[in-house]
Structure 1
């Protein structure tokens, strides 16, 4: 059977690559890198600006299912959290406990569908309060993935200490980097991505 590798990149504006003048974001960079190395794949960018983990949960199974059902190697890269930690009316758009529950549900649904998952941490932002809340989600998301045996890419702390990322975020809209920042996050994800892609598929395909 032909190896049909399909990957849905699911999440928020960072997944969509908002701010990148090349319109690739980190997802496009990783896919292009893999194809250049000789591994064919079909990638679907399902990043939506301003969406929280609750929003992503509501569309996750339907949108991914339509794209991954025929694949012999169906996979999902998931990244949420920054919008959860944004304040609206004096409180986070999604409470931390609910964010954690949403991630657990997303992982459970992926597992039930035999979709291999890689989770990328929410990246840092410029506002100190927002940043502290996002860092808290990063720690909790790492714990959840560790418990579930799901690979987690810890980009948050390295990017918070990366002068290129911080400069581009601060000189941009306070949240999104430009080209060099997306290069930086893609470089952090790449080793974890490579290891994940080398893992043997857990499903023989559907349809």
Structure 2
């Protein structure tokens, strides 16, 4: 299923990733995926957005499942695209940075071979300094993999690391997840870091 069919003008965008893609912890149940979709739809664009999050999913599992699930939402008459929401589950699984990079590279290469345009959103910081040192390295590795393939990468780690509202949201959660304000920040980063140009849509005034 390629992304080349565009006769209907429909944008089919599937987002795969972990609990942040699923929007866990958001009292509105939207997460950043829902907020980005709502903003884009409010501007009159013909978008179908599907959030397919699996809590604590690492890059190996993500690479294995993405196409089987995404292809069910794709259509030959639509412009089919993929968002990859990356977390830091690989660190808990004990994967090396090289393995994490390879898993993402394989996923992006597979998407490219199927002519599915991709957009990558990197892992977010925690309120723990030691964990953040490892997440920073992971994010930089992911960014390099995406850059080598000309794929848009949204660095969420750097702008949120010392952001007071983000740290307040995550620090108040028993399981380290953002709430409404945090998800709003993530949505803003996505919308302002190449979202419209990736979709081939005009940026709002």
**Fold match (TM-score > 0.5):** yes
Match of 1:143? Answer: 144
Shift of 1:71: 4.4
Equivalent in 11, 14, 29 of residue 5 of structure 1: 11
Shift of 1:133: 1.2
Matched, 1:80 2:86: yes
Equivalent in 190, 194, 197 of residue 196 of structure 2: 194
Separation (CA, whole Å) in 2 of partners of 1:110 and 1:131: 29
Shift of 1:83: 1.0
Matched, 1:185 2:191: no
The alignment's TM-score, normalised by the length of structure 1, stands at 0.89
Separation (CA, whole Å) in 1 of partners of 2:188 and 2:80: 23
Residue-by-residue CA offset, 1:42-85 (whole Å, 9 max, x unaligned)? 11111110111111111111111121143421001101231112
Matched, 1:16 2:11: no
Tell me if the contact between 1:81 and 1:99 (Cα under 8 Å) persists in the aligned partners.
no
Match of 1:108? Answer: 109
Give 5+ residue unaligned stretches, structure 1.
87-91, 200-207
Count of aligned positions: 194
Equivalent in 32, 35, 51 of residue 26 of structure 1: 32
The alignment's TM-score, normalised by the length of structure 2, stands at 0.90
More off after superposition, 150-159 vs 66-75: 66-75
Equivalent in 56, 79, 85 of residue 50 of structure 1: 56
Match of 1:67? Answer: 73
Residue-by-residue CA offset, 1:77-128 (whole Å, 9 max, x unaligned)? 1012311122xxxxx4322211100100110111111111100111111232
Separation (CA, whole Å) in 2 of partners of 1:180 and 1:94: 31
- CA distance change for structure 1 residues 71 and 175 in 2, over 3 Å: closer, same or farther? farther
Give 5+ residue unaligned stretches, structure 2.
1-6
Shift of 1:12: 0.4
Instruction: State the SS of the aligned residue for 2:105.
Output: helix
Tell me if the contact between 1:8 and 1:43 (Cα under 8 Å) persists in the aligned partners.
yes
Separation (CA, whole Å) in 1 of partners of 2:116 and 2:136: 27
Tell me if the contact between 2:8 and 2:77 (Cα under 8 Å) persists in the aligned partners.
no
Quote the RMSD (CA, aligned, Å): 1.4
Shift of 1:174: 4.8
